[in-house]
Amino acid sequence: MDINILLNRLKAIVGDNSVTTEEFILQTYTNDFSVSPSVVPLAVVRPGTTEQISNIVKFANENKIPISPRGGGSAQEGGCLAVEGGIVIETLRMDRILKIDEENSTVTVEAGITFGKLMAALEKKGWKIGIAPSGALAGTVGAHLSRPGVGWGNVKYVSQGDQVLGVKAVLPMGDIVSTGTAANPHSEVFFRYALGPDLTGLFIGAEGVYGIVAEATLRMYPYPEEIYLERFSVKGLKDAVSIFREIAIHNLTCFISAPFINSNEIVFDINIEGFKKEVEAKKEEVRKIINKYSDVKFLGSDESLKFWENRWYNTGLEFVDGIAGVINFFLPYSKIELGINEMRILIDKHGVTKYVQQLFPGPTGSEVVALLFHNPSDKEELNKIYSAMEEMMSKALILGGAPYSKGRQWAPFLKEEMEETGYWSMSKTIKMALDPNGIMNPGVIGF
Ligand SMILES: Cc1cc2nc3c(=O)[nH]c(=O)nc-3n(C[C@H](O)[C@H](O)[C@H](O)COP(=O)(O)OP(=O)(O)OC[C@H]3O[C@@H](n4cnc5c(N)ncnc54)[C@H](O)[C@@H]3O)c2cc1C
């Protein structure tokens, strides 16, 4: 399609100031926080309402134009990047809190709101949400539930997917659908599992391939009376995993983070929240568990409090060496040690020297993370990172790992391991039924 016709058609939907084909602006949409290859979109369009998203999608279908939904572009798997000849739909204009329902403890937001904005508003009213990513100033709710992301709160609240009660989404042909109890036109969202199968789940983990999330309703919780943090260190990964598991299965903490585990001494923070008395009691139980191990040190609260205070601005020292290639997947407790060791072997094999391994445990297993750093101008180093990442993704799946965020990065490896499964064929059948023209975030997940 002629670029001017495209521009004018999109302007007719969203207004003159919310679409661009200017080369220098398009360049800023060619990357996210990954090391994925850059693609320049034909246009970037910024809808202001669900109906505008629907009209853009209908137009894209008529003209078979691929679409990539994008929030803050802070994810690490290339899922929000355009494909050749495609456009980017950026949700950041849709950043309103539609309803804070204190009676039913839910909050309904537009998809493009950042966690920073949402949490600040809730805290003022004495409320909080369960899970938020460290990249909270850029990350949007719509994207985070679509990955589905994890973050502060993993032990108590598990993942963002577990916090979602319902969504309003635009399907790949442009239809608008409400899920959860809001599927009943006489109702709002207050419960997820209702009126039929859990269609909310179709959008969680789908990263836009089944449609664009336009609104979401999340659970919210009273802001805790007390938030307590303390730091420990333990010698040996085996003991560390065992400690994390025992704390997590008893649901004693809100969050556990082990941001640097590439030495023999594993430093970790625990974060307990609740009523003062509850926090005191849980603190004692946590210490009882940790003190059963011989090589443990109590490092006090000062450093973990500093980390807590900066939690939305940075993730500590990990990113100082430049943009990182990230490998991030879940493993059950029974395989965490193996997973960390296998990833380290591959990192070493490919000669990647600047990296950090991390664990962020949950109730049944842990997020296993490897951040590989590089100097963007060093092509040789970048190639080492690419080849290490390829083997790591393949190995992670063979170990039984589950990447929560797939984007385009994991797509070929998921296809390779899963193409013959019933799950894959069912997912593709749904995709083809909803998106016969294959325009919605093509290539993500491997479809
Ligand atoms: C410093 C830093 C720390 C981070 N910490 C965490 C963390 O603790 N936990 C964590 O989970 N992540 C973390 N991340 C990754 C990322 O910031 C979050 O997952 C964030 O929520 C992604 O939001 P985004 O709007 O930037 O997503 P984008 O990068 O814009 O998009 C991510 C994916 O979602 C899809 N998508 C976007 N919007 C929609 C929509 N409305 N409907 C359907 N699909 C959509 C995109 O197509 C893409 O596939 C971190 C990133 C950085 C840079």
Q: Is the CB of 207 under 6 A from ligand 1?
A: yes
CA-nearest residue, atom 4 of ligand 1: 135
Q: Is 112 in the pocket of ligand 1 (CB under 6 A)?
A: no
- Mean pLDDT (whole number) for 103-124: 97
Residue 265 CA to ligand 1 centre (angstroms): 31
- In the beta sheet, which residues pair with residue 110? 215
Q: Which amino acid is at 93?
A: R
The confidence score (pLDDT) of residue 381 equals 86
202 lines ligand 1 (CB under 6 A): no
- The encoded tokens of residue 242 equal 């065992």
Instruction: Find all residues with CB under 8 Å of 131, minimum gap 6, and list them.
Output: 144, 149, 150, 151, 152, 153, 154, 157, 158, 159, 160, 162, 163
CB distance 91 to ligand 1 below 6 Å: yes
Task: Name the closest-CA residue to atom 52, ligand 1.
Answer: 135
What angle separates helix 336-349 from helix 379-398, to the nearest 10 degrees? 150
Residue bearing the CA closest to ligand 1, atom 13: 133
DSSP-derived secondary structure for 113-132: -BHHHHHHHHHHTTEE-S-B
- State yes or no: pLDDT of 395 exceeds 70: yes
441 Cβ inside 6 Å of ligand 1: yes
111 Cα nearest atom in ligand 1 = 41
At 321, the pLDDT band (50, 70, 90 cuts) reads low
Whether 75 is in the pocket of ligand 1, judged by its Cβ within 6 Å, is yes
Query: 139 vs 13, 55, 111, 258, 387, CA distance in Å?
Result: 26, 25, 10, 22, 28
Residue 89 CB–ligand 1 contact under 6 Å: no
**Residue 318 Cα: closest atom of ligand 1:** 1
Per-residue pLDDT of 286-298, as tens digits, reads: 999 999 999 999 9
- Which numbered atom of ligand 1 lies nearest the CA of 140? 25
> Atom of ligand 1 at shortest distance to CA of 115?
21
What is the structure's pLDDT at 373? 87
Strand-pair category, 67-70 with 87-90? parallel
Probe target for ligand 1 pocket from 31, 87, 134, 414, with the most ligand atoms within 8 Å of CB: 134
pLDDT at residue 315 in the model: 54
Q: Is 191 helix (H, G, I), strand (E, B) or coil?
A: coil
Paired tokens of 311: 């939690």
DSSP state of 307: H
Query: Tokens 């899970």 map to which residue?
Result: 131
Examine residue 361 and say whether the peptide bond preceding it is cis (omega within 30 degrees of 0): no
pLDDT band at 378 (very low <50, low <70, confident <90, very high): confident
Is the distance from CB of 204 to CB of 193 less than 8 angstroms? no
146, 170, 218, 323, best to mutate for ligand 1 pocket (most atoms within 8 Å of CB)? 146
Could you report the per-residue pLDDT of 145-168, keeping only the tens digit for each? 999 999 999 999 999 999 999 999
Where helices occur in 313-378 by DSSP H, the ranges are 336-349
pLDDT at site 36: 84
Ligand 1 atom with the smallest distance to the CA of 404 is 11
Distance CA(68)–CA(213), nearest Å, equals 12
Residue 320 pLDDT more than 80? no
What is the per-residue pLDDT for 379? Answer: 84
Shortest-distance atom of ligand 1 to CA 148: 11
Report the predicted TM-score, pTM, of the whole model to 2 decimal places: 0.96
- Report phi then psi at 278, rounded to 5: -65, -40
Mean pLDDT of 268-284: 97
Pairing, β 43-45 against β 87-90 = parallel
Contact 55, 174 (CB under 8 A): yes
User: Higher pLDDT residue, 38 or 417?
Assistant: 417
- Of 121, 147, 268, 141, give the one whose Cα is nearest residue 214: 141
406 lines ligand 1 (CB under 6 A): no
- Cα–Cα distance, 76 to 72 (Å, whole number): 11
Give the residue whose CA is nearest to atom 43 of ligand 1.
208
Q: Does the pLDDT at position 111 exceed 90?
A: yes
Which tokens sit at 235? 């010698």
Residues 251-256 have a mean pLDDT of 95
Q: Residue 369: left if φ>0, alpha if ψ -120 to 50, beta else—which one? A: beta
pLDDT range class, residue 317, cuts 50, 70, 90: low
Average pLDDT, the chain: 94
CA–CA separation, 189 and 169 (whole Å): 13
Q: How many angstroms is it from 111 CA to the middle of ligand 1? A: 12
DSSP, res 372: E
Give the ligand 1 atom nearest the CA of 314. Answer: 1
